[in-house]
């Protein structure tokens, strides 16, 4: 942000962060005559605007957004190195389905206040007026703005993420750091470790049938349902709007499969209603419980779960893959790549399924070559294939 003294003559600017166009339009209609309104349809765009040098005096922030959510945006603001940004008042625009735990979490991070959806024009104007100062006063809102004393964020010496890409990387790093710690503990205690990756099926179809707000609340319900089936010792992390990672210490494959069955059962029996429409959602899952030794890395365990998740999702979803069914009968002649392609073309998928691992192994050098020559940037996919094939040895 620029020097506050140079901004006092300017009108105040409100940043509205919500992936619902309806909500953004409603705020704009109510407040546009009194304030400058800037809109951001996701958390990543909001962070770019905040760090672009544009004068922002108040943020109206939705919690449930795809990719970078409101919690992460709020945390990035409160831990920013720029004191003006860190002190920005942030009003959380929350749905009536959000429970006290969600509000407590947002308040602990540093939310200034809350306003519920749907809101009235009077309610929105009054809430905004509490946290924005007149143009003839300083534009930097102190953390004690309004009638409530705000919790100052804890000082964290680690670099804080400022962009959507940094937040995504931060999530992955947090997962790998915690996972490696639990792996080290499992090795030390000579205990098993299981990792499950979960993904919600057919979210695009849900969006097409309903709307953004309903989809967000449905995904929140799924998150809470999954969380309800985990144990105190487990670690559940949300990696994306429809994507979760569950680390289960001292849990063998059989026990992890039972936990997976419980999660899937709860989701299958959860009924969602949208007007006259009534439906259920499903999950895809991949489970990894490898043999552990001193050379095992958590990234390898996670990648195997990712590969199995992809198999479950590509196989139609509503299933969890916990082992690999590909096997080759020694009495059957191995297929060439051409033979496998022809068998798939004419619909003889069962023949290919029986030799899929061998066919994939033969394809790998070709994939590496094409990736290098054509610059396809599929290094991550190639790496997962290598890990998958190695897990079958």
Residue-wise pLDDT tens digits, 78-98: 989 899 899 999 999 987 556
Cβ-proximal residues to 152 (8 Å cutoff; 6+ apart), any chain: 110, 143
CA dihedral (21, 23, 26, 32) in degrees, to 10, reads -80
Q: Which of residues 211 and 330 earns the better pLDDT score?
A: 211
* Dist CA 15 CA 139 (whole Å): 14
Average per-residue pLDDT in the chain? 82
Contact 352, 344 (CB under 8 A): yes
Contact 390, 361 (CB under 8 A): no
Domains and CATH numbers, the chain: 4-131 (3.40.50.2300), 169-321 (3.30.70.270), 324-393 (no CATH)
Strands 13-17 and 58-62, bridge-based pairing: parallel
**Element spanning 387, H or E:** helix 379-391
Residue-wise pLDDT tens digits, 332-346: 567 788 888 877 777
How would residue 148 be classed by pLDDT, with cut points 50, 70 and 90? very low
CA-to-CA dists, residue 208 to 21, 213, 215, angstroms? 15, 12, 10
- Averaged over 180-198, what is the pLDDT? 95
Q: What share of the chain has pLDDT > 70, as a percent? A: 83
């Amino acid at each position: 942000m620029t020097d506050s003294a140079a901004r006092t003559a300017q009108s105040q600017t409100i940043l509205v962060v919500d992936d619902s166009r309806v909500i953004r339009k409603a705020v704009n209609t109510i407040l546009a005559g009194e304030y400058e309104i800037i809109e951001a349809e996701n958390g990543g765009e909001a962070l770019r605007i905040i760090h672009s040098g544009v004068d922002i005096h108040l943020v109206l922030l939705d919690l449930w957004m795809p990719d970078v959510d409101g919690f992460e945006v709020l945390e990035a603001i409160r831990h920013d190195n720029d004191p003006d940004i860190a002190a920005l008042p942030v009003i959380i625009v929350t749905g009536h389905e959000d429970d006290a735990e969600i509000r407590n979490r947002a308040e602990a991070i540093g939310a200034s206040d809350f306003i519920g959806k749907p809101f009235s024009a009077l309610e929105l104007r009054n809430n905004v007026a509490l946290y924005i100062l007149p143009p003839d006063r300083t534009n930097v809102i102190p953390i004690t703005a309004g009638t409530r004393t705000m919790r100052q964020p804890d000082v964290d010496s680690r670099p804080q993420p400022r962009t959507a890409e940094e937040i995504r990387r931060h999530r992955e790093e947090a997962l790998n750091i915690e996972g490696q710690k639990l792996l080290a503990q499992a090795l030390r205690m000579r205990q098993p470790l299981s990792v499950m990756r979960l993904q919600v099926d057919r979210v695009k179809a849900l969006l097409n049938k309903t709307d953004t707000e309903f989809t967000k609340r449905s995904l929140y319900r799924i998150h809470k349902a999954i969380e309800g089936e985990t144990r105190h010792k487990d670690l559940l992390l949300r990696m994306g709007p429809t994507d979760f990672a569950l680390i289960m210490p001292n849990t063998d494959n059989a026990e992890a499969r039972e936990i997976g069955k419980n999660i899937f059962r709860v989701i299958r029996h959860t009924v969602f209603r949208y007007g006259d429409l009534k439906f259920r959602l499903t999950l895809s899952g991949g489970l990894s419980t490898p043999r552990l030794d001193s050379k095992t890395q958590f990234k390898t365990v996670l990648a195997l779960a990712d590969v199995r998740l992809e198999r479950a999702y590509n196989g139609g979803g509503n299933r969890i893959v916990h082992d690999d069914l590909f096997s080759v009968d020694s009495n059957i002649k191995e297929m060439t790549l051409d033979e496998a392609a022809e068998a798939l073309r004419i619909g003889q998928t069962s023949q290919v399924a029986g030799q899929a691992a061998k066919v994939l192994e033969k394809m790998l050098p070709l994939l590496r070559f094409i990736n290098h020559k054509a610059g396809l940037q599929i290094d991550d996919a190639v790496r997962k294939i290598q890990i998958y094939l190695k897990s079958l040895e």
